Structure 1
């Protein structure tokens, strides 16, 4: 019985003057941990606002975006190589690097392990090519892809230098005549 009296007395202490249709309002304060979180949030927002807006110490989101875009462009060399000024690499190191890119990017899934072609991709070792057989054409098809034929664009996945290396490697496969080569497709290159 005394517990009920204590509860009633506690309610009477917190009872406010508001009364609406017999419903009385109690003034119960929130728990201390909620109030602590509330004050920490207010303090953090003041520090954040001062750092980024009033003192202008931190970078704005526009500056962060520009910095990240610049870093991305440098990593992938987005506009560094002009397709018209390309030359095919012929040194062993570049061709080995091109072969490694060919393997790493799983080009053999469509073009075969030795460029012989398969049910999906064309033969890269014969004299007949679908999209041109010069280094510029090969570079462009690797970089920009050919969605209608199922060729993936690799410009967002590897750098222009690596595209040039793999294009040079593909050019070096011409005339290698691997076993099980796919029938000729496209136009004969002169």
Structure 2
């Protein structure tokens, strides 16, 4: 018997278990310690998880988690739409400042210019000519639902109704501001009384 086989046989003898079945002997070859540690950690974690969710009832079930996430989404985007009677143009400084901030954050200037003067893509928002109506309800609807045929993106999935109302109020506040490099008028002339 070669020296190598002899060493292997001696190592096997160290791991042989006591029982013998029809001449077949079994080696005691335990898994590595790191696998056993991982196994015990998994068992411990499952006990903590079960206690937290099932025995102590501290965690949310899938249905509760879904309801919570849906409520957060509805709150964020105010899925319950404002009625036409709730739509009024804000005139207070705080709302118009927030509307201007939203106008900037949503990159409205890419199509309508920094001051609403319009450009090659979007119409001038500062003159008395309007393409799709000039009252708060019309402007609100355009911002919310967009005008896909003209490339106007709908913002209903990105802004709440209140934020759309504020940016619409800001857009209406731009009328008559006469910025430099204003685009030529487009659409129908809007009567002053139509903007409320």
3-state SS of 1:70 partner: helix
Q: Distance in 2 between matches of 1:83 and 1:26?
A: 82
Matched, 1:130 2:157: no
Once the two structures are TM-superposed, the CA of residue 84 in structure 1 deviates from its matched residue by 4.3
Deviations along 1:48-89, whole A, 9 cap, x unmatched? 123223443321022122122223332343326324430111
Which segments of 5 or more consecutive residues in structure 2 lack a partner in the other structure? 192-196
Q: Distance in 1 between matches of 2:57 and 2:98?
A: 46
Alignment of 1:36-47 (within 5 A): 36-47=37-48
Once the two structures are TM-superposed, the CA of residue 188 in structure 1 deviates from its matched residue by 3.2
1:10 corresponds to = 11
Q: Distance in 1 between matches of 2:46 and 2:155?
A: 43
Matched, 1:142 2:116: no
TM-score with structure 1 setting the length: 0.80
1:154 corresponds to = 155
TM-score with structure 2 setting the length: 0.78
Alignment of 1:103-114 (within 5 A): 103-114=104-115
Which segments of 5 or more consecutive residues in structure 1 lack a partner in the other structure? 19-23
Q: How many residues align?
A: 186
Once the two structures are TM-superposed, the CA of residue 6 in structure 1 deviates from its matched residue by 3.1
Does 117-126 or 139-148 show the bigger shift?
Answer: 139-148
CA-based RMSD of the aligned residues comes to 2.9
Q: Distance in 2 between matches of 1:63 and 1:37?
A: 31
1:97 corresponds to = 98
Asked if the contact 1:110/1:121 (under 8 Å) is kept, the reply is: yes
Asked if the contact 1:83/1:140 (under 8 Å) is kept, the reply is: no
Once the two structures are TM-superposed, the CA of residue 182 in structure 1 deviates from its matched residue by 1.7
3-state SS of 1:74 partner: helix
1:21 corresponds to = none
2:33 corresponds to = 32
1:75 corresponds to = 76
1:116 corresponds to = 117
